[in-house]
C-alpha cells in the first residue's frame, strides 16, 4: 500500500484567506478570521474534500453547490453582522455559511428546502459544536416567522426579486443581502430597511442556483 500524505487543511485554509480573500480586497477582519477558522472540508462530500480550498464552487450533492470562498466572504462583508445580531439565512445547503454566521452573530436560523441537505448540515454543525445555529427544513422564501424579526438576512440562492416576507421579517434599520435577477445570472443586492421601506443598492454580479418555493422560481 502506498503512503499518502494527508492534506494540510489548516495551511490550505490560511492560504485561501491570504490569496483568494485578502489578496482580492476583502478587508473585514471578523469575516477573514471566521473564514480562517471554519473547516470548509467538513461541509463538502468526501470526494470533494481535497478540493475544499480551491478557488471555486463545489458540489454538495442533490444538484446543489457551495459558493466559491471569495463570493461567500464578499457577501458576508456586505452583510456586516454584529456579534449581538439574530440572522436568517435562506438556502443553508451544506451549512458552511451558517457556521460562518454562527461565528459572526449571536443566533442563526438557516432554512433549507432539500431534506437530505438540511439533515446533513444539522449533523455537521452539531458535531462541530455550533449550538447557536438552528437548521430549519422548509421554504425559506417565506422567511422563518417563529424567530423573526432579524437584524440581518442573507439569501444564498438566486431570486427573481426580494421575497416580500423577508422584507417584512427585517428589523427597522436591518440589512438584507441577496442575489437577485435572472434564473442563471444575478446581481448581488444590499437592501436596508428604512421607515418600513427597502433602500436597495446593487453590488457585484454573481451566479447562484435558483431560489425555489413560493416567492422563488
Ligand atoms: N449557503 C450554502 C450554499 C447554498 S446553495 C452553503 O454554505 O453550503 C443554495 C441552497 O438553497 C441549496 O441548498 C438549495 O436547496 C436551497 N434553496 C433553494 N430554494 C430554497 C428555498 N425556497 N428555501 C430554502 N432553501 C432553498
Cβ neighbors of 212 (< 8 A, separation 6 or more) are 113, 139, 141, 157
For the ranges 12-16, 20-24, 59-63, which has the lowest average pLDDT?
A: 59-63
Determine the atom of ligand 1 nearest the C-alpha atom of 215: 22
Query: Phi first, then psi: what are they for 145, rounded to 5°?
Result: -55, -35
Is residue 107 within 8 A of residue 135, CB to CB? The reply is no
Residues 149-159: tens digit of each pLDDT: 999 999 999 99
Active-site residues, by number, are: 67
* Distance of alpha carbon 82 from alpha carbon 79, whole angstroms: 9
- The answer to whether residue 136 sits within a structural domain is yes
pLDDT for the residue 1: 53
Q: Which domain holds residue 202?
A: 9-206
Is 194 a residue whose pLDDT tops 90? yes
Q: How many domains does the chain have?
A: 1
Distance 5 CA to ligand 1 centre (A): 34
- Provide the β-strand partners of residue 189: 178, 202
Buried b (16+ CB within 10 A) or exposed e, 168-200: ebbeeebbbbbbbbeeeebebbbbebeeeebee
Q: Which region, left, alpha or beta, applies to residue 94 given φ > 0 means left and ψ of -120 to 50 means alpha? A: alpha
Report yes or no on whether pTM surpasses 0.95. yes
Cβ neighbors of 197 (< 8 A, separation 6 or more) are none
Place of cell 424567530: 147
- The answer to whether residue 214 sits within a structural domain is no
- The answer to whether residue 1 sits within a structural domain is no
The domain that contains 164 carries what CATH number? 3.40.50.150
93, three cell numbers: 445547503
Distance 4 CA to ligand 1 centre (A): 35
* Distance of alpha carbon 216 from alpha carbon 163, whole angstroms: 8
- Ligand 1, pocket residues at CB < 6 Å: 60, 64-66, 90-94, 96-97, 111-114, 117, 139-141, 156-157, 209, 211-213, 216
- The answer to whether residue 152 sits within a structural domain is yes
pLDDT for the residue 3: 62
Name the burial class of residue 130, with classes exposed (0-12), middle (13-18) and buried (19+) by CB atoms within 10 angstroms of its CB: buried
Q: What is the mean pLDDT of residues 104-133?
A: 98
For residue 79, give the 3-state DSSP assignment.
Answer: helix
Mutate to test the pocket of ligand 1, among 92, 99, 136, 214 (most ligand atoms within 8 A of CB): 92
Determine the atom of ligand 1 nearest the C-alpha atom of 96: 7
Mutate to test the pocket of ligand 1, among 112, 133, 188 (most ligand atoms within 8 A of CB): 112
Distance 71 CA to ligand 1 centre (A): 15
pLDDT for the residue 4: 73
Q: What is the mean pLDDT of residues 63-87?
A: 97
- The answer to whether residue 2 sits within a structural domain is no
Percent pLDDT > 70 in the chain is 99
Amino acid at each position: 500500500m502506498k503512503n499518502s500524505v494527508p492534506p494540510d487543511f489548516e495551511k490550505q485554509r490560511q492560504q485561501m484567506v491570504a490569496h483568494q480573500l485578502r489578496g482580492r480586497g476583502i478587508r473585514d477582519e471578523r469575516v477573514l478570521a471566521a473564514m480562517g477558522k471554519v473547516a470548509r472540508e467538513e461541509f463538502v462530500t468526501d470526494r470533494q474534500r481535497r478540493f475544499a480550498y480551491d478557488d471555486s464552487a463545489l458540489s454538495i450533492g442533490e444538484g446543489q453547490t457551495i459558493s466559491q470562498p471569495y463570493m461567500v466572504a464578499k457577501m458576508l462583508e456586505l452583510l456586516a453582522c454584529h456579534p449581538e445580531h439574530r440572522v436568517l439565512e435562506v438556502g443553508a445547503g451544506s451549512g458552511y455559511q451558517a457556521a460562518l454566521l454562527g461565528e459572526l452573530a449571536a443566533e442563526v436560523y438557516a432554512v433549507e428546502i432539500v431534506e437530505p441537505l438540511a439533515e446533513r448540515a444539522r449533523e455537521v454543525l452539531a458535531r462541530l459544536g455550533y449550538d447557536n445555529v438552528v437548521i430549519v427544513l422548509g421554504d425559506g422564501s417565506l422567511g422563518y416567522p417563529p424567530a423573526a424579526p432579524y437584524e440581518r438576512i442573507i439569501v444564498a440562492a438566486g431570486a427573481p426579486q426580494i421575497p416580500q416576507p423577508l422584507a417584512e421579517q427585517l428589523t427597522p434599520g436591518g440589512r438584507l443581502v441577496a442575489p437577485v435577477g435572472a434564473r442563471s445570472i444575478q446581481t448581488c443586492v444590499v437592501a436596508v430597511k428604512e421607515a418600513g421601506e427597502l433602500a436597495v443598492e446593487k453590488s457585484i454580479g454573481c451566479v447562484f442556483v435558483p431560489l425555489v418555493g413560493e416567492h422563488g422560481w
